[in-house]
């Protein structure tokens, strides 16, 4: 059986899509293809490109459609109505809150998107969701978390507890605001403390900010960079629902590197940090709590080291793709 991954916003090398395709293809019983809209075009062109994608999807030679957004789901269901193909709807965003922001529309539009997306999802043959929080909107869905591949990380000889890091492929100032403010305050206690940004910075920071930016690093170099940089900060600001219930991949990267974390107490982040015992939770947007957590870790180096070790062990045993990939293969679609 051939399964076509259909997406209107995610690239072909998206980590989740890549893992799903690899998992299915390894069985030797199924093949996959990819049809999508390449990112980087003006938003006003989206309807035109969507029509072109729909034409491709309706004429491609495939047996099932694995779609990743509500508009891709609409195309897949149209093909199902015309040709009888099976449809998997893969929900890895809270689209009612994300879509209005993506297109610059008023937030009240989410009240319309929500029931339409749910209605469409009930016409799919299977629904998989990225987390329990996202899955609450889709009763009976299969939870397939975005856990990482297990990658070897060097054994740390000691994590510096007076330095901090934030990992991201493209870091905007609002992603690092609370971390930078906390490090600035911590310089009252430790004048040399710094924040290391592991990845590219999207725009300039204030002059004199205590920040080091590594720029792009290959995946294999990230664990050692995180260990050298210090305590991992995972501090998304819950400005809207998709952020509030999200689970940043940077948390898993810190854990895999054996780095203790200071993380925002948001639903999915809290579930992982509590479950693994790998760090300290703080209230979102509370810089004073971040500072207190950093001081506590420095005063308890043994506990901080244990947190890092527990994070690494949890990735190896539970929070990795190999531990959950059978949930995808166990869908009825793949048994036919």
9/95 same-domain check: yes
pLDDT at 314: 96
133 backbone dihedrals φ, ψ, rounded to 5°: -65, -45
d(CA 155, CA 309): 10
Domain assignment of residue 182, yes or no: yes
Number of structural domains the chain divides into? 2
10/49 same-domain check: yes
Domain assignment of residue 281, yes or no: yes
Among the listed residues 262, 194, 203, 265, the one whose alpha carbon sits nearest the alpha carbon of residue 228 = 194
Is 159 in contact with 259 (CB distance < 8 Å)? yes
Domain of 258: which CATH number?
3.40.50.2000
Mean pLDDT, contiguous 10-residue spans, the chain (336 residues): 95 94 94 91 90 93 96 97 96 94 85 96 98 96 94 77 89 83 96 93 83 90 94 94 94 96 97 98 97 98 96 95 96 84
Overall pTM surpassing 0.85 (yes/no): yes
197/252 same-domain check: yes
d(CA 99, CA 85): 27
276 backbone dihedrals φ, ψ, rounded to 5°: -95, -20
Residue 45 DSSP symbol: G
pLDDT at 154: 72
192/311 same-domain check: yes
Supply the DSSP string of 267-323, one letter for each residue: HHHHHHHHHHT-EEEE-TT-HHHHHHHHHHHHH-HHHHHHHHHHHHHHHHHTSSHHH
123/193 same-domain check: no
124/169 same-domain check: no
259/212 same-domain check: yes
d(CA 127, CA 142): 6
191/238 same-domain check: yes
Among the listed residues 82, 59, 83, 78, the one whose alpha carbon sits nearest the alpha carbon of residue 124 = 78
137/223 same-domain check: no
* Angle, in degrees to the nearest 10, between helices 70-83 and 110-121: 30
d(CA 81, CA 43): 29
Domain assignment of residue 152, yes or no: no
87/197 same-domain check: no
140/198 same-domain check: no
Q: Which residue range is the domain that position 130 belongs to?
A: 2-147+321-335
DSSP-assigned beta bridge partners for residue 127: 89
d(CA 308, CA 153): 12
Among the listed residues 186, 289, 286, the one whose alpha carbon sits nearest the alpha carbon of residue 238 = 286
300 backbone dihedrals φ, ψ, rounded to 5°: -130, 65
pLDDT at 336: 65
Give the pair of three-digit tokens for residue 65: 């459609």
d(CA 161, CA 290): 13
Q: Strand, helix or coil at 35?
A: strand
């Amino acid at each position: 059986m051939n399964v076509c991954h259909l997406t209107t916003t995610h690239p072909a090398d998206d980590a989740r899509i890549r893992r799903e395709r690899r998992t299915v293809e390894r069985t030797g019983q199924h093949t996959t293809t990819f049809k999508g809209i390449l990112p980087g075009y003006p938003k006003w062109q989206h309807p035109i490109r969507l029509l072109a994608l729909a034409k491709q999807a309706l004429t491609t030679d495939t047996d099932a459609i694995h779609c990743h957004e509500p508009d891709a789901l609409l195309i897949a269901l149209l093909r199902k109505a015309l040709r009888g193909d099976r449809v998997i709807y893969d929900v890895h965003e809270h689209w009612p809150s994300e879509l209005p922001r993506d297109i610059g529309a008023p937030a009240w539009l989410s009240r319309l998107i929500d029931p339409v997306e749910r209605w469409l999802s009930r016409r799919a043959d299977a629904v998989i969701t990225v987390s329990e929080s996202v899955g609450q909107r889709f009763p009976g869905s299969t939870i397939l978390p975005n856990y990482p591949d297990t990658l070897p990380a060097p054994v740390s000889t000691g994590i510096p507890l007076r330095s901090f890091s934030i990992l991201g492929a493209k870091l905007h100032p609002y992603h690092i605001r609370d971390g930078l403010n906390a490090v600035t305050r911590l310089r009252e206690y430790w004048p040399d403390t710094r924040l290391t940004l592991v990845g590219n910075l999207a725009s300039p920071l204030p002059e004199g900010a205590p920040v080091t930016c590594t720029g792009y690093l290959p995946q294999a170099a990230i664990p050692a960079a995180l260990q050298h940089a210090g305590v991992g900060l995972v501090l998304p600001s819950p400005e809207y629902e998709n952020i509030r219930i999200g689970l940043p991949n940077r948390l898993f990267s810190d854990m895999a590197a054996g780095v203790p974390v200071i993380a925002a107490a948001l639903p999915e982040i809290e579930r992982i940090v509590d479950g693994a015992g790998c760090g300290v939770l703080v209230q979102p947007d509370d810089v004073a709590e971040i500072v207190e957590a950093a001081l506590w870790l420095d005063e308890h180096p043994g506990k901080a080291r244990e947190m890092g070790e527990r994070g690494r062990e949890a990735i190896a045993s539970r929070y990795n793709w190999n531990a959950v990939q059978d949930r995808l293969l166990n869908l009825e679609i793949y048994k036919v």
